[in-house]
Amino acid sequence: MRRPRRSEDYKEYKIVKDLSDAEIGFKESKGLDVAFIFPNSYSVAVSSLAFSWVRDLLSKYGVGVERFFYDKTFKKFYSLETLRPLDEYGIWLFSLQFETDILNIARILKVKGIPIFSRDRNPNHPRIIIGGPVTYFNYKAPLQIADYVYRGDLEVYINEFSQFLKGEDIEIPALCSHERENCELAILRDLNLMPPVGSIISPYSEFKNKLLIEIGRGCIRRCAFCMIGHLQKPARFLRPETLKDIISKIPKNISLGIISATVTDYPWQDELIDILHDRRVSFSSMRMDGLTEDLLRLLIRSGQKSFTVAPEAGSQKIRDILRKDLTDDDIERALKLGIEVGFRKIKMYFIYGVDEETERDLEDIAKLSINAKKMGYDVRVSLNPLIPKPGTSLEGKKMEDAKTLEEKKSFLKDLLKKGGISFQFESIKKSILQYKIANADENEIVEIINRYA
Ligand code: SF4
């Protein structure tokens, strides 16, 4: 692609080119069939294994796919592979990872002069397809924008979907359209059939300079608020021999990001430690009740200074309501273990905004954080309002209103400040918007997009 002449376009081109140049990995382009767009920033996009996995998977089936991401200053949107502008692609495939990203999809269409809602477009416009985690629990709202929504694991119908992208008129059970609104949720039964391994390493990823490998999909638990624990069933894992084989082909100097809903629930823990013992790794997520000395020592050897856990609540009462299956003893044991192996920094995630919560339950969040500080940790807590989502045990439940959440937030803030704990609250406004989009029907989503995009 020749560099653009207009200085405004060149600025945008240069941003994408610099990010692309910083990537190490497979970049070959097989043509200009499909623009695969993550409607979020580059760093969020490249932190997801799907960003390269979907491209690579489709490309194995003969579909040329190039990657794009969202930036609110962009007008052209250049591909990371060949730096060609988005206008040149006939199919725009979006990965909807987070509810509010639907607004960025609408913004991209708006900037490109394409009608946002599918009912207003004609065959001369690009075909819009949306997939990704949000469509697992709400596909009717995205269908107002998209011509098609693919629900579930792409691997299940990869062959059929590739043919569809190449223009074949083919029915796919997981592909919803306005003519076919009742579509199934595709769940890949065996992860070992197509082990998901990334092909891009970026210094801008949350998994900085790491190659991502998904060792588990779905979760064996069923925490009340969690979509993964409800809709991605059964939990599926890479067998140790598959993992061993994959890792033996990756040069030793490449660090690995191991992805799973909870790495601590991987059924073959001893084998996992054995396979990874001489690698530099980080884990996407660990449960406190499953932490072992071996896992934590592996992280320390990999140069990790801090570890992240999610007690979700300070009191047993709220943890039980959230069905977290985590006891005070589990938490105490995990905190002690972390100190024993040498960690001095910890990040803890909490949820607040549960109906049954009293001041005492909120005080328990602060107490738990202060207790960790007393044990020797530099503690950082992240606090998020509870967002009831469809498909979970909280389906149909109302989210607490902004006023109540603000009161709880300021109560918690005072306690944490007094205890010398550093904290970060997720925006209440954005969380309420996320709740509205997650639960939106066909009419509500149109109103939300018209109002916020
Ligand atoms: S353990 Fe984590 S991933 Fe599994 S259901 Fe609970 S919150 Fe979800």
At 71 the pLDDT is 98
**Which band of pLDDT confidence, cut at 50, 70 and 90, is reported for residue 25?**
confident
Ligand 1 midpoint to CA 442 (Å): 29
Three-state DSSP state, 244: helix
At 31 the pLDDT is 61
pLDDT tens-digit series, residues 147-157? 999 999 999 99
**Which band of pLDDT confidence, cut at 50, 70 and 90, is reported for residue 182?**
confident
Alpha-carbon distance values, 113 to 107, 233, 279 (Å): 10, 40, 48
At 28 the pLDDT is 65
Higher pLDDT, 88 or 3: 88
- 138 contacts 111 by C-beta, under 8 angstroms: no
Rounded distance between C-alpha atoms, residue 237 and residue 220, angstroms: 11
pLDDT tens-digit series, residues 301-311? 999 999 999 99
At 32 the pLDDT is 60
Q: Is the Cα dihedral 291, 292, 293, 298 positive or negative?
A: negative
Rounded distance between C-alpha atoms, residue 143 and residue 138, angstroms: 9
Task: State the closest ligand 1 atom to the C-alpha of 285, by its place in the atom list counted from 1.
Answer: 2
Closest CA to 250 of 294, 292, 195: 195
Rounded distance between C-alpha atoms, residue 322 and residue 393, angstroms: 9
Rounded distance between C-alpha atoms, residue 180 and residue 131, angstroms: 16
At 27 the pLDDT is 66
What strands, in cross-sheet order, belong to the sheet with 175-177?
65-69, 34-38, 91-95, 127-131, 148-150, 175-177
Residue 394 in this model has a pLDDT that exceeds 70: yes
Which of 137, 220, 221 has most ligand 1 atoms within 8 Å of its beta carbon, as the pocket-test mutant? Answer: 221
Q: Is the Cα dihedral 113, 114, 117, 123 positive or negative?
A: positive
pLDDT tens-digit series, residues 380-389? 999 999 999 9
- 311 contacts 347 by C-beta, under 8 angstroms: no
Q: Are strands 378-385 and 236-237 parallel, antiparallel or unpaired?
A: unpaired
State pTM to two decimals. Answer: 0.95
List, chain by chain if needed, residues with CB within 6 Å of any ligand 1 atom: 219, 221-223, 226, 228-229, 261-262, 287
pLDDT averaged over every residue in the chain:
96
Rounded distance between C-alpha atoms, residue 422 and residue 419, angstroms: 9
Task: State the closest ligand 1 atom to the C-alpha of 226, by its place in the atom list counted from 1.
Answer: 8
At 36 the pLDDT is 97
60 contact partners, CB below 8 Å, separation of at least 6: none
- Helix or strand (DSSP H, E) at 150: strand 148-150
Residue 453 in this model has a pLDDT that exceeds 90: yes
**Which band of pLDDT confidence, cut at 50, 70 and 90, is reported for residue 5?**
confident
At 184 the pLDDT is 95
Higher pLDDT, 27 or 178: 178
Ligand 1 midpoint to CA 275 (Å): 25
Ligand 1 midpoint to CA 227 (Å): 8
Residue 215 in this model has a pLDDT that exceeds 70: yes
Residue 81 in this model has a pLDDT that exceeds 70: yes
- 385 contacts 332 by C-beta, under 8 angstroms: no
pLDDT tens-digit series, residues 313-360? 999 999 999 999 999 999 999 999 999 999 999 999 999 999 999 999
Domains of the chain: 7-177 (3.40.50), 305-453 (3.30.750.200)
At 341 the pLDDT is 96
- 66 contacts 212 by C-beta, under 8 angstroms: no
pLDDT tens-digit series, residues 266-285? 999 999 999 999 999 999 99
Ligand 1 midpoint to CA 264 (Å): 11
Closest CA to 144 of 116, 184, 186, 170: 116
Closest C-alpha residue for ligand 1 atom 6: 223
Task: State the closest ligand 1 atom to the C-alpha of 265, by its place in the atom list counted from 1.
Answer: 1
pLDDT tens-digit series, residues 48-74? 999 999 999 999 999 999 999 999 999
